[in-house]
A and B are shown apart, each in its own frame.
Chain A
Amino acid sequence: MKVLKKIFVLPLVFTALIFSSCSSDDDNPVPVVEEEVITTVKVTLTNGNDVVILQSTDLDGDEGPNAPIFSISGPLTKGTTYTGRIEVLNETESPAENITEEIEELDEEHQFFFATENNVATFAYNDSDGNGNPVGLNFTLTTNASATTGTITVILRHEPNKTASGVSEGDITNAGGSTDVAPTFNVSVE
């Protein structure tokens, strides 16, 4: 049994060595600084004193389980042309990071597209990047001449192909790129 003793002591010593030499230190991992986080899309529609604000906020981001919260300040007026302005924020940081500025800086790599249900409104771009292609941070929105309810969807594409057919007219079909935001607002036109 001498041999047995030798045989089992050796690995135990080794095991002890491994476990003691590799014991975890108490350093906590650092949180990941998430990039490209967008929590908030705020669309301000103005026609004189008639101001309608559409806002979607998802404070726990893409990964969090909570659905975005929508706030629509009121109904749109039928047959009216509004001046539109989009703001994009990262509110996980304090103060909130203004992503709009980043889009303005890299405007050639970004474009907004608009979609509606029930012909709530039509859209026209009111800005352009260095190449004369639209960006869509500024736009005009003309509501339907008659009262209706439906949706407005605002889509931000990152690195779209702006020269593809129809893209500069606001047709997303050939745009490609990746979708950064795509909130859908329920609106009524009265």
Chain B
Amino acid sequence: MKYYALIVSCLVFSIAYSQKCISEFSGKVEDFHDGSAIVGATIYIETLDIYTTTDLNGNFTIKNLCDEKIMVTVSHVGCETKRLDITIQGNTFSKINLEHHIEELNEITVQGHLDKKQTKTSQETLLKTEDLENYSASSLGDAIKQISGVSSLNTGNTIVKPVINGLHSSRVLIVTNGVRLQDQEWGVEHAPNIDINASGSVSVIKGSGALAFGGDAIGGVVVLNPNHIVLKDSLYGKTIVSGQTNGRGYSINSSLSKTYTKGWYINGQASTKRYGDFKAPDYNLTNSGLKSLGFSMNTGFKTFEKGFNIYYSYLNNDIAILESSHIGNIEDLVNAINSPQPLVIKDFSYDIGLPKQDVTHHLIKAGFYKRFKKFGKLEVQYDFQNNNRLEYDLRIGDDRFKPAIDLTLKTHSIKTSLKLDTNIGNTYEFGISANYQNNFANPDTGIRRLIPDYDKYDIGVYAVSDFILNDKTHLDFGIRYDFNQYDTKKFYLKSRWDERGYDADFSNIIIDDLPTQWLTNPKFEYHNFSASAGIAYNLNDSNTLIANYSLSNRAPNPSELFSDGLHHSAARIELGDLRITQETSNRISATYKYQKKLLRIHLDAFYNYINNYIVIEPTGTQQTIRGAFPVWEYKQTNASLFGVDLDVSYQLNEHWGISNKSSIIKGNDISRDRPLIDIPAFKTVNTLNYTNKKWLDFNTELQSVWVLRQNEFPNTNFEAFIPTTNNMVLVDISTPPSAYNIFHLKSDITLSMSQKTNLNIALSINNILNTSYREYLNRLRYFADDLGRNIMLQLKLNY
């Protein structure tokens, strides 16, 4: 529609007559970025219905106008059409800038969904709204797991942590609406505080190539973008309701947007989920339900030249954790591992009992951008996040309802970036960011702090550039520097302090002497450099090669430095180390893409060498009056990860298609010549799908997920004394579970209810054969099987 005026102008040439009107309106039309003249732009005075076009120098003149206010529309092929109010008073001259970059225009496109990738030469996969909607009832981790090379580290089935190419937690950055998520991501049982329903698209970038988001993404970056705003006068919304048999629960999500042509927009979204105890094929998973509530609000104004955005999101997850996973001492752990079934199996219940997590995350962001003529785009953003994590254990007596962990993490961030895009073939972006973070560990828990109180300061500066060398070759380079500082107040038991050897190395940081404890003030600083370079080369229309190298440094997180105590949910003593330094990753990757009509191949390969890789592993047992506990210590080693991810699809004919996604990864602890722990096993997913547009847009797909047994794992088993039976037993915590093959079926149809309203009905059956299996990367695999069959009905209404 936007070219309409132009087309009309080519056909119509008219001159309007007026009485005694002798003023002249002239002007020049230039490109916004580089100031070059725009030839052949259409100048249309709407109020008078007069047309003209610009000459070879971009100039135009319209004579015989009256002195009055006029409305002018300026348009040109490939440009954003501009409307101007101009007051004619005598001979009037006006300089008009048009935006000439298609790609930049996409940011405020009027064409609906046009999701953009974040990077040009990284291994990036984009999941669109339709992909995400299938996972409306589950989590971010479940949604991005469909990408080859992405897996998840689970605690049960509701706590799902993304794993990218074998790496997770602090090595995977999550960025939502331009804000880097700060939600105590260090813990393996801490899932990202993201409501998948609040996002319009998700990009998963393997490796640390996207330096604008941070330099420490040794595993990768997950970028969530809000729903695209379409700049026209419109009110639209979406509601997704789903119900499922396993967990006997529901999920509801609804969003509503109001947009205006002038650039204003407002969007509100809310979702809630409620599940009771889930079920494995043979038994109830007692205390595994979920109660979740999230909402978000996104409002602002945007045009090509300037805009602002204010965003707020809230998410509360109240997550029950399998009761049988509570471990009092090592004997309980041995009993749990040896028992083929969970030790506690009760009737179905919706109760969120103990143990459980209750996590609340608030995020508020305000951003502003402005473009400067013949220069570039400036963005400034401030955000604040408040993350409160309450972990309840099975405690007794008066402490029953007291959390065992109560941590509040507050983060303020400010960042600004400047993109110089005068020459679209050669763009530069510079940025600077600063964070202040405060962690408060509430002492009222009556349990020693696992993570201490600290203040953290970060400053980052980066420069990235992008060159289009020719039609076929795209290059990008980036560098980044980050400074991190911890200012911590931590209590150490004097016996622990000596046992760690801190008395020799850190006696200068003691600031107070208590009967059994030292209060210490560790202040640590880290300087991190990161860099990336990549090339994308189109061999021809159907073959593309991408190669990328990235260097990244990650400072240790608070858990790796300061952990110190009994982690009840894992029945283990976890010890950080003040001497831990940052880890350094050198990653090279290559991608081959082939696309020709019916066949599509995407092959990613990478090699990641990590110096001083931080890993937690068992180092022995510790005797206490309650019996023995395994001790897990954070250590540093050199590690290498190598992997290949394949994604192939082939359209057999109009209706039938097949696809395969497979990934294999090898992780080695080079220093000790043994495999790394928790590396995903080989996985291959085969899908057969059928589509028929005539049958109410019918789609169905049958999927087989086949995961082999992980045969490469470090042996971390240990022997422990069991007092009630008076013998030593082997505690087998390292042997992975067997291979499994499960099948899923999904079908959907779309009914058009009116011009703007359509209803999509989807029925899916997960684990059709109700197969019992356990997954190596589920921390509750010692205690119970994974989920049994689940039948889900989802209704999606777009209006």
Contacts and interface: CB of A to CB of B under 8 A. Distances in A.
A155 interface: yes
B491 interface: yes
Contacts of B447: 32, 34-35
B744 interface: no
Nearest to B382: A14
Contacts of B372: 3
Nearest to B373: A3
B246 to A, nearest CB: 28
A116 B566 contact: no
A179 to B, nearest CB: 5
Interface in B723-767: 723-726
B624 A106 contact: no
A134 B332 CA distance: 23
Contact of A7 (B378, B412, B415, B626): B378
B489 A29 contact: yes
B341 interface: no
A24 interface: yes
The SS class assigned to the B binding surface is: strand
Interface stretch (A58-66, A72-80, A138-146): A58-66
Contacts of A58: 623-625
Contacts of A68: 623-625
Interface stretch (B15-23, B513-521, B546-554): B513-521
A84 B63 CA distance: 116
A59 B328 CA distance: 20
A179 B626 contact: yes
Given A28-B512, A115-B723, A115-B726, A33 B626 contact: no
A11 B432 contact: yes
A36 B622 CA distance: 19
Given A19-B436, A115-B724, A30 B626 contact: no
B724 A63 contact: no
A116 to B, nearest CB: 7
Contact of A179 (B441, B495, B627): B627
A182 B415 contact: no
B483 to A, nearest CB: 12
Interface in A98-134: 106, 109, 113, 115-117
Contacts of B328: 178-179
Contacts of A11: 380, 414-416, 432, 434
Contacts of B517: 31
A18 to B, nearest CB: 5
B414 A15 contact: yes
B384 to A, nearest CB: 10
B36 to A, nearest CB: 19
A92 interface: yes
Interface stretch (B138-146, B161-169, B219-227, B448-456): B448-456
B726 A62 contact: no
A101 to B, nearest CB: 14
Nearest to B413: A18
Interface stretch (B118-126, B198-206, B249-257, B394-402): B394-402
A56 B511 contact: no
Contacts of A63: 448, 493, 496, 564-566, 573
Contacts of B85: none
Given A32-B446, A64-B495, A66-B495, A181 B726 contact: no
Contacts of A31: 443, 491, 514, 517, 519
Contacts of A159: 396
Interface string B368-383: 0000100100101010
A32 B622 contact: no
B525 interface: no
Nearest to A65: B499
Given A19-B457, A60-B495, A63-B448, A182 B416 contact: no
B438 interface: yes
Contacts of B312: none
Given A7-B418, A65-B495, A35 B446 contact: yes
Contact of A184 (B394, B457, B721): B721
A108 B399 CA distance: 17
B649 interface: no
Interface string B489-519: 1010111100100000000000110111101
A18 B436 contact: yes
Contacts of B455: 22, 24
A120 to B, nearest CB: 10
Contacts of B514: 31
Which of A22, A68, A116 has the most chain B CB atoms inside 10 A of its CB?
Answer: A22
Interface of B: 328-329, 331-332, 372, 375, 378, 380, 382, 394, 396-397, 399, 412, 414-416, 418, 432, 434, 436, 438, 441, 443, 445-449, 452-453, 455, 457, 459, 487, 489, 491, 493-496, 499, 511-512, 514-517, 519, 564-566, 573, 622-627, 629, 721, 723-726
29 contacts: A3-B372, A10-B380, A11-B380, A11-B414, A15-B414, A18-B436, A28-B489, A31-B443, A31-B514, A31-B517, A35-B447, A41-B625, A59-B495, A60-B494, A60-B495, A61-B625, A63-B565, A64-B495, A66-B499, A109-B396, A115-B725, A117-B726, A153-B726, A155-B723, A155-B724, A158-B396, A159-B396, A179-B329, A182-B626
Given A32-B447, A36-B397, A41-B625, 16 more contacts: A7-B378, A8-B432, A18-B412, A24-B455, A29-B443, A30-B443, A31-B519, A32-B443, A34-B447, A39-B625, A63-B493, A64-B495, A67-B622, A67-B624, A178-B328, A179-B331
